[in-house]
Structure 1
Amino acid sequence: MTLRLFYLIFCRIVGWLMLLPRSDVSKNMEILILRHEVTVLRRQVRRPRLSWADRAVLSALGRGLPAVLRAHRLVTPGTLLRWHRRLIARHWTYPHRRMGRPATDSAVVALIQRVARENPRWGYERIRGELRHLGHQVSGATIRRVLQRARLGPAPRRADDRWRDFVRAHAASTLACDFFTVDTVTLRRLYVFFVVEVGTRFVHVLGVTAHPDGAWVAQQARNLLADLEGRANTFRFLIRDRDTKFTSSFDEVFAGDDIHVLKIPPRAPRANAFAERWVRTARTECTDRLLIFGERHLRTVLDEYADHYNRHRPHRSPALRAPTNDESDVIPLPLGRIERRHVLGGLINEHQHAG
């Protein structure tokens, strides 16, 4: 700010030196123009915003004006007195200090909020005990005050069971199914029925048809359980929407293997987010980039893409591993010759070490 004041003073001195060789007529004309510009600006801006450097320069320059002209400038004697009163008030005003105990450390506040969000059924005393175990002595009243400021209610109100938490807790034993459509070159609409294993993201493309009905869907469910063989008893839930193609016969197929069918709310695709996410991935990487000629062609394309998706494609949630791979499959190898394998005629590439 001090540098700005010196800069303004320097600019005004240079401007004054440039005025010395000019005639009085030229100066008078410039004064008239500047007065008119100030009048126009005052019509648009009632109170211009001035920095303290601007005020200092205007005050210094205003001393050389006659009293009559000084009364009509932006900086009037009343303005100078008001600035002086502000300086006095600022000089004698002491910094405000809060009374009482010091505020809770921000790191502890963030930890309280984190523990409350990650454990919605914990009350104030339970959170207090967990913090004490971590080496932080915090009272229950402080925890209540911190949670109230963060708009986190008491444990009974924070403990509302959410669908997302249920699915995450039961991911390893949950299946999700849905349909998506593909239009052929002849504008014929085909329906693709698939099932996703939520825990591993493994996808089963069960069937492709132009006329899905309840009997066809129920038969695809039987085929799925036959393909799962001994693994069928590891699943306990199946998430589906309320499409009329899912009949009571379809639910009974899974009920026979003690798999409970969960229906998502109407018009709530996010409740079946894992299936919807696979639809987006399959469209973006496969079907939207190809021309489909019929059912057989679409089935061949989806079988090849599903094999790539399950065997090679990395996924974010499983730590960038493919559904059929685990930690033991990742072996550090020296950098050598890398081979490229074409999938879907080169639409997708897989890279691996040359054998």
Structure 2
Amino acid sequence: MRKILAGPADRLPRPPYDAEIDTIFKALGGMPERYEVERLRKDASARTQPLTSALLADKSINVEDISIPGPRQSLTISVVKPLAPADESRPCIFYIHGGALVAADRFAGLDTSVIWARDFSAITISVEYGRAPENTGTEPVEDCYAALLWTSKHMSELGIDPDRLLLYGTSAGGGLAAAAALMARDRGGPKLCGLVLECPMLDDRNEKVSSQQFSTGPFYNSTLNKFAWRCLLGERAGGSAVSEYEAPARAQDLSRMPPTFLDCASAEPFRDEIVAFASKLWEGGVQAELHVWPGGPHGYDRIIPTAPFAILARQTRLAWIRRAFQTI
């Protein structure tokens, strides 16, 4: 079983948490003494299960599991469709879940598909990609890209508008979404109308100031992040032999990427790598929108969804997706 000891205490001053988050932070106390894959998976499952049950019981949508060919073995995707009849093809959000590359499943965060179905009449597709450490290197993103490509080839039977296919990833899924978008660019498709990267996990090097500021704490920190990257990359993590398809922050050229929305919080280890990625997109002439929400840790949207800045963040994402679907 892979494990890592907790890192040293933070030495740099760091942006404060929002008052509501700070209360939770103080109540949680210290960080774990070590990280283990099975414990992370157990905790993720406990958090996800009630939301998954509510999703499957929701009468406004239909959830269908489909087995599709994968690069190494068959993959399972979940297709979430609005039950209301449609006069025309629907937009599609291809969703990639988070979980530090090692935990969670295709239903993690998929409860948001009910909102997408209601607000956009959108179909959501979520893939069960291979997690680390059982799947390493580019294997998880190859799974995601294979499922995205399958979706693009079955749009007609799924009722999807080919001009409105949007790729969306959260946390580790955000990094995989960025890598899959790079693959789509480099391999000639599929065409994406937009890319949403919600607090994406992009850089295995953990060198940015925010990584040093948030190396400890009960929320997602860079000590856990180093553990997660080592599960994917082994001894290559942080070294020179890592490709942009494994860690998208390694990309030197982000030109010809789809219009991109990025967001994160000010009090999380990913903050500076996300800001740098947005700058690289602008350098490549890509239309990109970046938001850094003050006072939140990584995962703030789930930790305290009623916080005013969390509500505003969700509204801002939805507004951007609406524009992406209308600009075709």
Q: Which has the larger radius of gyration?
A: 1
TM-score bracket for this pair, using the shorter chain length? under 0.3
Q: TM-score, length-normalised on structure 2? A: 0.23
Task: Kindly indicate which of the two structures has a greater share of residues assigned to strand.
Answer: 2
Q: TM-score, length-normalised on structure 1? A: 0.21
Task: Kindly indicate which of the two structures has a greater share of residues assigned to helix.
Answer: 1
The structure, 1 or 2, with the larger RCO (C-alpha pairs under 8 Å, 6+ apart) is: 2
